[in-house]
Structure formats: structure tokens, C-alpha cells
Amino acid sequence: MTSRRARQGATLTAVFGVLLVCGAAAGAWGGTAPPLPRRALSADTLPADPSALSPEQAAGLVASGTDRWAAYYSPDDYAEFAQGLDGEYLGVGLTVDRAEDGTTLVAEVQAGSPAAAAALASGDRLLAVDGEAADRLPVTEVVARLRGRAATEGRGERSAGPGSTVVLTVQRPGAAAREVTLRRTVLTTQDVTVDHPAPGVLRISVRAFTSGVGAQVRAAMKHPPQHGVVLDLRGNSGGLLEEAVGAASAFLDGGPVASYLSRGERRELTAAPGGDTTTPLVVLVDGGTMSAAELLAGALQDRCRAVLVGTRTFGKGTVQQPSRLADGSVLELTVGQYFTPAGRSPDGTGLQPDVAATDPAAAAELALRVLSGLAPTPAQR
């Protein structure tokens, strides 16, 4: 432990009554939280050539539950999934949610989208999609219809492309219902947002590790703030491992980020040199922090680069590999497990934060307090 880190730990001890130290000395990744179920194919039970399976066999393998993270995609579904990883999707720029009373609400409107051009806003009630009552449909089906994917009786699923339209009936609180026609387009996901929650503090929120996210995080760190950075990984369900490694490179000067075992072979993932290693850093995590996001958080924790604040992460520490079947569909199976630089696997147990905070608003505020304890004093500078 460096003398600077020891001083930071002492400061936080005074503030929170907890001792924050690095690595295994703290036992931060032990804990007594009950493990999540672990069901995955081992290397010796994986099909020798998954691509040789029929669609029926692939779907049956997924349905068996042998591999908790197995997935089967139709050709169209996989194309949409791959497009999402590229940071794009076909839609109208709406995020929807189901309220406690069962109504369907607009949760978020993406700037520059068709929904924004139609003056839709967060809090609007979505009454109908193409004439069908939204409240009678699962939220997943509402989203599918907004994106142009809807079930057609007797003909399976119908897909719409860019330029197709969807008719929505919406109602703003206190106003009459209105009907709007939106034209679908290919939109860029906004997986990285940057703001300043306090003077001299930069907050980088990462929703998923899609293509280009690592470069966006590094760009945000080109001009380090005076008092520190909050990296918000709450609700981040993961994504591309290489993008998580790219994000880690913004805060590390080379060295290990993770390793993973795939069919018995160990492979190393390392950060690029030249990252910022001195600006104080706090990482916000919660039960929705998964997979590649856990890999990043675990690396920063293991290497004493950041203090984790929040709740235990989800606990997905496995690697999946897609195989294309003869009809163009795709079977995705678990092929390995990844480990943090200290040799931990978050699979089944998750990562324990250094400072616990269950309430989201309180966690965000606590992150700023922790950051103030990490900031070097004038004498340390």
C-alpha cells in the first residue's frame, strides 16, 4: 500500500468509521452474501461443434437450463442484438416503463430522435401502439413494436425497417390524448453521459459497453477535474469486454485488467499505457452492475485505483461465445470464466463495495463525500 493510499484510508476511516485498504488485506471480496445459483456448461460438456446443431437442438439446449447464460437467436434477432453492440438500434427514441398502477409511461426521450421531434416527454402516458392498448401488452412487446418487431398471426414475427412508421396514442397529465405518427430510424445509443455533480468533480455514467464506449471514457478523461471522478456503473449490464478494457485504460497505466479461461486456455486482458493514475476515483455499483462492468470495477478495486460505493454487484463472471447455425440463427454458449487481477471471480457472488449504500440517491451523495476524503491535501500535492 502506498503512503498516499494509507492517508486516504485514514481520512475515510474518520469520516465513515470503516477501514478502507486495498486488495486482499481488506478481504473486500469475501463477505457473507449468499451466492447466486451457478449453472454453466463445463468445457468437457460443451458440444464439440455447436454450429452443427439443428435449430431445434439449440433451442432445446437453451431450454434445458444447463447453461444459465445460453441464448438462441433467430437471424433477425441476432442482427438486432449485434447492431445494439455496435451502439445503434432501430427505433423512435423512446424508453418506456410500467407504473405501479399498470399504466405504460414514457420514461425517457432521446435527444434528436423522432420522439423528441414530436414533443413527447418523460411522464407522458402511452395509451396505444398502432391502435392496440399499450397497458394490455408486456413492456417487452411494447418495445418490440416501437422498434418494428411484432407478432403476426400465423406468420411468426414481422420486422420493419428504417422509414417505417408507428402510430402512438399519448396523453400528457392534465391534457387530452393525441395521436402521433413517428418514422423509425437508426439511432445511436447514448451509453456514456458526462456531467459535473459538484465543482471540480466529473461524473462519467456508463450504461453499457457497446462499441466506442472505451474511447468515449478516455476522451472524458483528457482534462482531469481538480477534485476527482465518479464513474457510475450502476445498472450497467455489461457488453463488449474489449470496451471495458478500453475504459480501464483511462484510469490505469498499463498492467492487468482481467484474465479468462476459455476451454482450458488462459488469456490475459491488459490496459493500454498512459492512463490517469492520480486523479481520485470513486466507482458506483449496484445489483445491476454485471459482467464486463464487474470486470472493470474489480480491476480498479484490485489495483487500488478506486473506492467502490454502493451495493453488491450482480455476479456474472462468465464469457459467452456465439456459433452460427446452418439456417443463420445463432446459439450463444458459456465457454469460460473471467478473473480480476487478484484472481477473484465475481461469478455467483458479485463484488462487495468498499463503502455500502443501498439507497441510490444516498449512494450518489456518499460517493462525493468519499471523493472528498480521497482528494490530496495541499501538503500531499
Check residue 362 and give its pLDDT.
93
Tell me the C-alpha distance between 49 and 44, whole Å. Answer: 12
pTM for the structure as a whole: 0.71
Number of other residues whose CB lies within 10 A of the CB of residue 319: 19
Tell me the C-alpha distance between 252 and 257, whole Å. Answer: 9
> Mapping DSSP to helix (H, G, I), strand (E, B) and coil, where does residue 254 land?
coil
Check residue 83 and give its pLDDT.
62
Tell me the C-alpha distance between 30 and 331, whole Å. Answer: 34
Residues 6+ away with beta carbon under 8 Å from 307: 12, 20, 281, 282, 283, 354, 355, 370, 374
Tell me the C-alpha distance between 307 and 22, whole Å. Answer: 9
Check residue 376 and give its pLDDT.
63
**Model pLDDT for residues 262-308, shown as the tens digit of each residue:** 777 888 999 999 999 999 999 999 998 999 999 999 999 999 999 99
pLDDT below 70 — which residues of the chain? Answer: 1-47, 80, 83-87, 150-160, 375-381
Q: What angle (nearest 5°) sits at the alpha carbon of residue 11, between those of residues 279 and 312?
A: 75
Domains of the chain listed by start with CATH number: 3-30+189-374 (3.90.226.10), 90-188 (2.30.42.10)
Check residue 173 and give its pLDDT.
93
Check residue 160 and give its pLDDT.
67
